[in-house]
Amino acid sequence: MPSRDYNLFDEPWIPVRWVPTTPHSTLGAPPDLVGVRELLLRSSEIAGLAIVDPPAHSALLRILYALTARVTHLDEAGPGDWGERRLEVLEAGRLPDAGIDKYVTKYRDRFFLYDVASKRPWMQDPRLAEQCDGDNTAGVNKLIVTRPSGNNHAWFRHGHDASPDLPDAPEAVMNLLVWHFYGPSGRCSSREVGGVKSASATAGPLRTALSYHPEGDSLFETLLAGLVRPESTVKRETDQCPWEWDELPDPEAPAPSPPGPCARLTACSQHALLLVPDPQDPQLVRDAYITWAYRSGRIPRDDDYLIWQVSQQGNRYPRPADSRRALWRDLDALLLKEPPGTAQPRRPKVFEYASEVSEDLRVRALGFEQEGQAKDTQFIDAATPPVLGFAEKEAARTTPPVGRMRQLGETYGRRLERAVKRAWAEYVRDTKADGGTWADEAAARYWPCAEAEFWDRFRRLDRTGRAANGGFERQAARAAFLRLAQEAYDTVTASATRTQRGAKAVSNARIELYGGARKPRGRG
């Protein structure tokens, strides 16, 4: 069995996009894949990660944030002012070579993908080979989240668990990260520890959530903007990443709470995995163990890249990923300290500090629409134009134009849905008819146009600070969103107006676009 043939610091496994001005070497164009060490050294030449699967992109960004904090010594609040030290790194134009070399030298032994010698393969638990049933492993089809496995239907590719296509190491590592951050709850492979066998796992820390990341013109800017100021009590000796631990964690002990940002970024997995290399080719993975990491308890969910909301019961939860929801509808929750809304949304903590790196940062949303247990629906990957120049700095500015535009767009989207559903119910003379078909078509017509309208008005806002309220014209914006809702309503209901009954139903329901009929005032 290969033991130390694949080191993630050195092997090219991370897909990247280079900035257009990156010079070609004597060997040709820059490589499409790089190792961790080259990525850190050349981050100022890299435009961004080119990872196809958004949850893998989101997970790897968190790993890279932690490494960036380590090599720049921004993993502690002191000495001096943390913000000024980050600006010094920014002015240097690249991550420090000395810091990268020192860290790689110290932890190179912990970045082998397969490590029989020291039994510390990267982000894996080698004890699973003995604690799990070797004849009943998860298999590589289970590891690769986009493949059908077990008794699931095959939609886009055929595969057999008995003779699967073996993934290469880069694909396996990306899916290893997806499992650590987005793994499901429920039944998994049995793991026997202390004479007790169990097969129940807790969901990963990012499962069902949508995370938001500031994004600069280069990966160097992106990584610096993604750092969060550590609390003054954080020490790097205790705030450790999993590969920095002296010992593997006790699976029978309660799940530990992360003591600082590096642990929050990398050490909140509820799953334990072990990749089994192909004995003939270490570039391929032949099998995988996937099971629970801690028998009891759950690491508290606390992530600096999520929008947190409060339920009617008073519980704090991250805004869920919804593939049908455009990113602009979350924009005010990203920019404002106290955005409006009954859910009391709170912007991701990272945006309190991101604008210190650049005011021209974009926002990238990455996630996975899924339920808490096994069902996965769709990946989500969306980005905005540069928006962080609008970041709110004064506490009194709690209702800027961007929030009002979002509210207007949402208002007329909801009114349109009510109108088409009411029209359908009156048309078919069934008050319980849901009108889902008309509502889906109306939404498909309205929301893309509303998004274009939002960004058009966003670009026209005053950036000099001279115009009152940013030059925002509420009545004009209201009229624009209403017009879009009217156009969608007329198109969707057009077929019903050919009959007298249909025309009457469509006419009666149109009032919902304007807020519905007013309730009569009571006498007295």
**146 and 12 within one domain:** yes
H or E, element range at 175: helix 169-182
**408 and 279 within one domain:** no
Closest CA to 244 of 127, 126, 122: 122
For residues 180 and 448, give the distance between their C-alpha atoms in angstroms, rounded to a whole number: 34
pTM of the shown model = 0.85
**410 and 287 within one domain:** no
For residues 405 and 457, give the distance between their C-alpha atoms in angstroms, rounded to a whole number: 8
Q: Which residue range forms the structural domain that includes residue 480?
A: 395-523
The total number of structural domains in the chain stands at 2
Q: β-strands 271-277, 196-201: how paired?
A: unpaired
Q: What pLDDT was estimated at residue 395?
A: 37
pLDDT in tens, the chain (524 residues): 455 679 999 999 999 999 988 877 777 889 999 999 999 999 999 999 999 999 999 999 999 999 999 999 999 998 999 999 999 999 999 999 999 999 999 999 999 999 877 789 999 999 999 999 988 899 999 999 888 766 666 666 666 777 788 999 999 999 999 999 999 999 889 999 999 999 999 999 999 999 999 999 999 999 999 999 999 999 999 999 999 999 999 999 988 899 999 999 999 999 999 999 998 887 899 999 999 999 988 888 889 999 988 888 888 888 888 887 888 788 777 776 666 667 778 889 998 888 889 878 899 999 898 887 778 888 888 888 777 665 555 434 445 678 788 889 989 999 999 999 999 999 998 888 888 889 989 998 999 899 889 888 888 877 666 777 777 788 999 999 999 999 999 999 999 999 999 999 999 999 999 988 876 665 54
Assign residue 481 the CATH number of its domain: 1.10.132
Report if residue 437 sits inside a domain.
Answer: yes
Q: What pLDDT was estimated at residue 154?
A: 61
Question: How many CB atoms are located within 10 Å of the residue 171 CB?
Answer: 20
Report if residue 309 sits inside a domain.
Answer: no
**419 and 279 within one domain:** no
Cis peptide before 79 (omega within 30 of 0): yes
Cβ-contact 374, 188 below 8 angstroms: no
Per-residue CA distances from 325 to 354, 387, 410, 444, 448 (Å): 24, 19, 11, 11, 10
Report, in this order, helix, strand and coil percent for the chain, each rounded to 5. Answer: 40, 15, 45
Per-residue CA distances from 45 to 24, 111, 385 (Å): 12, 24, 21
Q: How many CA atoms lie within 13 A of 66 on its CB side?
A: 20
- Answer with the one of 269, 292, 315 that is the final residue of a domain: 292
Q: What pLDDT was estimated at residue 358?
A: 86
For residues 174 and 55, give the distance between their C-alpha atoms in angstroms, rounded to a whole number: 9
Q: What pLDDT was estimated at residue 398?
A: 41
Report if residue 424 sits inside a domain.
Answer: yes
Report if residue 508 sits inside a domain.
Answer: yes
Three-class secondary structure of residue 124 per DSSP: coil
Ordered DSSP codes for 276-314: EE-SS-TTBEEEEEEEES-SS-------TTB-EEE-TTS
Report if residue 350 sits inside a domain.
Answer: no
**187 and 72 within one domain:** yes
**175 and 56 within one domain:** yes
**263 and 405 within one domain:** no
Three-class secondary structure of residue 90 per DSSP: helix
Report if residue 17 sits inside a domain.
Answer: yes
Look up residue 270 and give its amino acid.
Q
H or E, element range at 485: helix 474-493
**277 and 403 within one domain:** no
Report if residue 363 sits inside a domain.
Answer: no
**223 and 100 within one domain:** yes
- Answer with the one of 258, 292, 326 that is the final residue of a domain: 292
Closest CA to 187 of 213, 150, 162, 223: 150
**404 and 288 within one domain:** no
**277 and 130 within one domain:** yes
Report if residue 386 sits inside a domain.
Answer: no
